[in-house]
């Protein structure tokens, strides 16, 4: 009742819109109906991109219904109207390629979804304009990150069932026990104990340097209190056991060695053993003084154990990530500071020369002053005394504030973005897993559909999720099995 007049008016208006309205031309126009939105398009226009679906449609002979039905979802021969069961909104954007030669994504449409539409219409992705591409790449990056996260989660979930009996199975068990605190209660306990050991050993390291707590040995040398020494030994013992177990159970030794956290672990325990060997064996080979110096130097390396905390804190990991990401900005910061230090220390040195009791004795010495001033720390051990020198100092700390503040902003930005993203990724990955589980449940014939109101029926399969990772195809069956068992 309504449809007839409407389509007439729409076709007439669209034809008058599209061209001067010659009758012949109107005959040749093809009208398409995309999910209820009707459009009339001229074949010449469509043929600009002969690869595209619409151009193929325009070119195919009117009688070949097979071809037509393969290209579109429904066809009305008398009106020569093709029906497509697609999203009209996206199509409105995509059809612009015929007019302007480029596609702009409408705001609000999910880029991933839009790409699928473009693929359907067989418009090459390269026609997507640059301004919208950044949007797309951003989304794709995010998807990749989610995929990574999912892979990690899947690794965690992976059971030991797949492994055959024997050493490999043990290896995997130990690895999960040491590396994945979430996997079991025992693993969590181990993680907490490890954390406590790090704390204790750090405290012991600090306490050991307090003179009151040190004892003098026979030669008058101060050495650490025996109790503290014992605690230290226990801690190192624990760290060593931990490290060896990790190393032994690591699936890939090379990757294990190259990992930053493991290097830190190694540095944390290495000095102890080196000192041990030096004190027992070294005396035979070299002078006592040398040995002691070496021991002292190695003591500094104990500081590395503080970094071991990073394994247990996501905040620290975020920090390292942010610093890694903003390497350029850090370089910028150091460069600004370096230039500032050179300029202002030189200026300060020259300006203070006139004063008889100057604290600026040489340019390298005034570097220290420049750093302390530019970072607005200002110890007061060196300070300018002449008026010119004071002016210089004022300028230098103003510049210092700016030099620090400018490059720091991107670093902070990186940090905040990563920090916030971490939370989002977590939920996204979890839901992705759920989705996979759901789909695998549907695939298994016996599996009862979990959600009653929203399952695909058996005949028409949904296409896989866009974010589907090849790795997961094999895995998700087992995941589902595991979940359903548990």
Partner 1 sequence: MIKTGSRSTNSLPPEPVEIIRSKACSRRVRLNVGGLLHEVLWRTLDRLPRTRLGKLRDCNTHESIMEVCDDYNLDDNEYFFDRHPGAFTSILNFYRTGKLHMMEEMCALSFSQELDFWGIDEIYLESCCQARYHQKKEQMNEELKREAETMREREGEEFDNTCCTEKRMKLWDLLEKPSSSFAAKILAIISILFIVLSTIALSLNTLPELQDIDEFGQATDNPQLAHVEAVCIAWFTMEYLLRFLSSPNKWKFFKGPLNIIDLLAILPYYVTIFLTESNKSVLQFQNVRRVVQIFRIMRILRILKLARHSTGLQSLGFTLRRSYNELGLLILFLAMGIMIFSSLVFFAEKDEEDTKFKSIPASFWWATITMTTVGYGDIYPKTLLGKIVGGLCCIAGVLVIALPIPIIVNNFSEFYKEQKRQEKAIKRREALERAKRNGSIVSMNIKDAFGRNSELMDVVVTEKTEENMVKKEKGQDNGNTSPTRWKWTPKRTTSDTSSNKSFTGQEQASPVRATSPSSPQHLNVQKLEEMYNKMGKTQSQPNLNSKERGPLSKSGKKRDEMEMRSIHADRAHTTAEGVMDMRSMSSIDSFISCATDFLESSRFSHSPISTQPSRVSANPGLETTLEHESMKNPVGPPKPGRTMFSDSPRGIRISNPLKTRSLKVNFFSGETTGPTAGSTQGGGSAALSDSSVVSDRSIMSPEVSVYTTASCKTPPKTPETLIPTVFTFHDASISKYIDADTDEDDHLQDGPGSSPSDRLLGNTSPKLSNSSHQRGANHLDLSQRMLGQNSLFSLEGRSGSGQENHVISGDRGRSKTINENN
Binding positions for partner 1, 407-466, rule CB under 8 A? 408, 411-412, 415-416, 419-420, 423-425, 427-428, 431-432, 434-435, 438, 451-457, 460, 462-463, 465-466
| Sole window of 24-32, 245-253, 272-280, 368-376 interacting with partner 1 (rule: CB under 8 A) | 368-376
Q: Which of 30, 45, 60, 207 binds partner 1 (CB under 8 A)?
A: 207
Site for partner 1 in 144-163 (CB under 8 A): 146
Which residue shows structure tokens 């007049």?
Answer: 5
Q: Which of 33, 194, 392, 440 binds partner 1 (CB under 8 A)?
A: 33
DSSP 8-state secondary structure symbol assigned to residue 181: T
Contact between 195 and partner 1 per CB under 8 A: no
Residue closer to partner 1, measured from CB, 251 or 458: 458
Residue closer to partner 1, measured from CB, 43 or 410: 410
| Sole window of 8-16, 41-49, 174-182, 250-258 interacting with partner 1 (rule: CB under 8 A) | 8-16
Q: State residue 385 phi and psi, 5-degree precision.
A: -120, -25
Binding mask 323-362 for partner 1 (x = CB under 8 A): ----------xx--x-------------------------
Contact between 106 and partner 1 per CB under 8 A: yes
Binding mask 59-78 for partner 1 (x = CB under 8 A): --------------xx----
Residue closer to partner 1, measured from CB, 206 or 285: 206
Residue closer to partner 1, measured from CB, 262 or 455: 455
Q: Which of 113, 261, 264, 276 binds partner 1 (CB under 8 A)?
A: 113
| Sole window of 22-30, 58-66, 84-92, 388-396 interacting with partner 1 (rule: CB under 8 A) | 84-92
Question: Is the Cβ–Cβ distance between 410 and 329 less than 8 Å?
Answer: yes
3-state helix, strand, coil in the chain (%, to 5): 70, 5, 25
CB of residue 461 vs partner 1: minimum separation in angstroms? 8
Q: With H, G, I as helix, E, B as strand and everything else as coil, classify residue 455.
A: coil
Q: Which two three-digit tokens encode residue 458?
A: 């058996």
Interface with partner 1: number of residues (CB under 8 A): 100
How far out from the chain centre does Cα 450 lie?
Answer: 32
Question: Is the Cβ–Cβ distance between 113 and 124 less than 8 Å?
Answer: no
First to last CA, the chain: 58
Q: Which of 205, 228, 250, 475 binds partner 1 (CB under 8 A)?
A: 205
Contact between 111 and partner 1 per CB under 8 A: yes
Q: Which of 45, 60, 71, 143 binds partner 1 (CB under 8 A)?
A: 143
CB of residue 468 vs partner 1: minimum separation in angstroms? 10
Q: Is the dihedral of CA 328, 334, 338, 341 positive or negative?
A: positive
d(CA 264, CA 365): 34
Q: With H, G, I as helix, E, B as strand and everything else as coil, classify residue 183.
A: coil
CB of residue 74 vs partner 1: minimum separation in angstroms? 6
| Sole window of 44-52, 151-159, 238-246, 372-380 interacting with partner 1 (rule: CB under 8 A) | 372-380
| Sole window of 56-64, 124-132, 142-150, 268-276 interacting with partner 1 (rule: CB under 8 A) | 142-150
Q: Which of 134, 376, 443, 444 binds partner 1 (CB under 8 A)?
A: 376
Cβ contacts of 471 within 8 Å, gap of 6 or more: 151, 154
d(CA 40, CA 206): 81
Question: Is the Cβ–Cβ distance between 63 and 56 less than 8 Å?
Answer: no
Residue closer to partner 1, measured from CB, 303 or 394: 303
Contact between 119 and partner 1 per CB under 8 A: no
31 beta partners: 40, 81
Q: Which of 10, 18, 262, 292 binds partner 1 (CB under 8 A)?
A: 10
CA angle 225, 230, 234 (to 5 degrees): 150
Residue closer to partner 1, measured from CB, 59 or 420: 420
CA angle 145, 416, 320 (to 5 degrees): 70
Question: Is the Cβ–Cβ distance between 393 and 373 less than 8 Å?
Answer: yes
d(CA 266, CA 288): 26
Q: What order do you get walking across the sheet with 37-41 strand by strand?
A: 37-41, 30-34, 81-84, 74-76
d(CA 302, CA 293): 15
| Sole window of 124-132, 226-234, 374-382, 386-394 interacting with partner 1 (rule: CB under 8 A) | 374-382
Residue closer to partner 1, measured from CB, 31 or 183: 31
Q: Which of 19, 89, 155, 163 binds partner 1 (CB under 8 A)?
A: 89
Contact between 306 and partner 1 per CB under 8 A: yes
CB of residue 222 vs partner 1: minimum separation in angstroms? 11
d(CA 364, CA 346): 9
- For 153, other C-beta atoms within 10 Å of its C-beta total 17
Site for partner 1 in 222-281 (CB under 8 A): none
Which residue shows structure tokens 């409408």?
Answer: 106
Strands 215-216 and 81-84, bridge-based pairing: unpaired
């Amino acid at each position: 009742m309504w449809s007839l007049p409407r389509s007439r008016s729409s076709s007439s208006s669209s034809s008058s819109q599209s061209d001067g309205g010659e009758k012949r031309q109107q005959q040749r126009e093809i009208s398409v109906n995309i999910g209820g939105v009707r459009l009339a398009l001229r074949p010449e226009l469509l043929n600009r991109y002969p690869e595209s679906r619409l151009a193929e449609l325009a070119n195919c002979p009117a009688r070949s219904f097979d071809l037509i039905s393969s290209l579109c979802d429904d066809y009305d021969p008398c009106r020569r109207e093709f029906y497509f069961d697609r999203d009209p909104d996206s199509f409105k954007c995509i059809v612009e390629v015929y007019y302007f030669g480029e596609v702009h994504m409408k705001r609000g449409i999910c880029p991933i979804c839009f790409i699928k539409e473009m693929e359907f219409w067989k418009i090459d992705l390269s026609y997507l304009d640059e301004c919208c591409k950044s949007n797309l790449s951003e989304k794709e990056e995010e998807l990749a990150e989610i995929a990574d996260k999912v892979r990690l989660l899947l690794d965690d979930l992976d059971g030991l069932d797949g492994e055959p009996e024997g050493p490999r199975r043990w290896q995997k068990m130990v690895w999960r026990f040491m590396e994945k605190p979430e996997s079991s209660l025992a693993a969590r306990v181990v993680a907490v104990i490890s954390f406590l050991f790090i704390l204790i050993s750090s405290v012991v390291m600090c306490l050991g340097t307090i003179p009151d707590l040190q004892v003098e040995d026979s030669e008058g040398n101060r050495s650490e209190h025996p109790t503290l020494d014992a605690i230290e030994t226990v801690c190192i013992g624990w760290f060593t056991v931990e490290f060896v177990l990790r190393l032994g159970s690591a699936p890939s030794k090379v990757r294990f060695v190259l990992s930053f956290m493991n290097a830190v672990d190694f540095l944390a325990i290495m000095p102890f053993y080196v000192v041990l060997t030096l004190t027992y064996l070294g005396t035979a080979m070299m002078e006592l003084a040398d040995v002691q110096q070496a021991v002292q130097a190695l003591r500094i390396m104990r500081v590395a154990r503080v970094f071991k905390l990073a394994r247990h804190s996501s905040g620290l990991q975020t920090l390292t990530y942010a610093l890694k990401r903003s390497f350029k900005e850090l370089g910028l910061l150091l460069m600004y500071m370096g230039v500032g230090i050179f300029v202002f220390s030189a200026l300060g040195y020259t300006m203070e020369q006139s004063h008889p009791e100057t604290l600026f004795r040489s340019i390298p010495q005034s570097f220290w002053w420049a750093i302390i001033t530019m970072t607005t720390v200002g110890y007061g051990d060196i300070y300018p005394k002449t008026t010119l020198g004071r002016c210089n100092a004022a300028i230098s700390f103003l510049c210092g504030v700016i030099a620090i503040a400018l490059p720091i902003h991107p670093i902070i930005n990186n940090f905040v973005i990563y920090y916030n993203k971490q939370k989002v990724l977590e939920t996204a990955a979890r839901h992705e897993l759920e989705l996979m589980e759901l789909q695998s449940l549907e695939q298994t014939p016996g599996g009862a559909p979990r959600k009653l109101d929203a399952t695909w029926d058996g005949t028409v399969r949904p296409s896989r999720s866009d974010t589907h990772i090849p790795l997961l195809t094999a895995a998700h069956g087992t995941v589902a099995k595991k979940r359903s068992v548990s």
